Structure 1
Amino acid sequence: MNQLDNIISDRGSRYSVSGGVAETREAAEALLKELKRNKKYAKATHNTWAMILPDGTPLKSDDGESGAGMVIVRMLEREELLGHVIVVTRWYGGKHLGGDRFRHVQDAVTAYLSAFFRGG
């Protein structure tokens, strides 16, 4: 599993991003389960994830962060990245972020793609 820890902080909320190869929903759920073995991630407010199956079917879970899964799906579609799940984790800091939360999800996915796919 690939991970970038504590990459974004805003008004007390912290974000990390993780991911790995997943050809099926079961593989994505197994990766999420592995991630949550770490108590820090198990206690996170949101573990939003998305992937696109090899046949092109998008799967996502907002995990309470309404709309965030679709942000990840759109980015995966743009990259044409199939069979790979990306999880954006948020620890809520006590202040609402409004629309900035979508920008943070986008920035987290961009950081992940840069680190693990674009040689950045």
Structure 2
Amino acid sequence: MLVLENIISDRGSKYAVAGAPCESEDQARALLGELRRRKKFARATHNSWGLLLSGAGPVKNDDGESGAGQVILRMLEREDLRDHLIVVTRWFGGRNLGGDRFRHIQEAVRIYLEELRH
């Protein structure tokens, strides 16, 4: 699993992004479990994720960050990246970010995709 930590910071909130090839929703949950075994990620406020499965279609989970999974799915669709889980993690810093949180989720996925290309 590729994990990129401390990629975005805004008003105390911090973001990370992670991902890995993934062929099922069960495998996605296992990968999330692996990520959460890291103490830092277990304490995160949100671990939102998206996955475009070749056979079963889109799967997402906002993990309390309403709309986050859909943002990740849109970016996966744009890239036509299938069977690859992307998780955007946020540690809440005490101040609401409003719509900026969606911009940060998009940027986190962009950073991950760029790293994947190299």
Q: Distance in 2 between matches of 1:41 and 1:75?
A: 23
SS at match of 1:50: strand
What is residue 46 of structure 2 aligned with on the other side? 46
> Do residues 9 (structure 1) and 33 (structure 2) align?
no
What is residue 76 of structure 1 aligned with on the other side? 76
Q: Distance in 1 between matches of 2:79 and 2:56?
A: 13
Gap regions ≥5 residues in structure 1: none
What is residue 23 of structure 1 aligned with on the other side? 23
SS at match of 1:107: helix
What is residue 36 of structure 1 aligned with on the other side? 36
Q: Distance in 2 between matches of 1:6 and 1:54?
A: 31
* Structure 1 ranges of 4+ moved more than 2 A: none
What is residue 92 of structure 1 aligned with on the other side? 92
User: Could you give the per-residue CA deviations for residues 65-107 of structure 1, whole angstroms, max 9, x where no partner exists?
Assistant: 0001000000000110110000000000000000000000000
What is residue 101 of structure 1 aligned with on the other side? 101
Once the 2 structures are TM-superposed, how far is the Cα of residue 55 of structure 1 from its aligned partner? 2.0
Contact 1:6 1:15 in 2 (8 A): yes
Q: Percent identity?
A: 61
One-letter code aligned to 2:53: L
Q: Distance in 1 between matches of 2:36 and 2:64?
A: 16
SS at match of 1:82: coil
TM-score normalised by length of structure 1 = 0.97
User: Could you give the per-residue CA deviations for residues 15-51 of structure 1, whole angstroms, max 9, x where no partner exists?
Assistant: 0000001100011000000000001101100000000
Once the 2 structures are TM-superposed, how far is the Cα of residue 56 of structure 1 from its aligned partner? 5.7
Gap regions ≥5 residues in structure 2: none
Task: Give RMSD over aligned pairs.
Answer: 0.7
Q: Select between 98-107 and 50-59 the one with higher mean Cα deviation.
A: 50-59
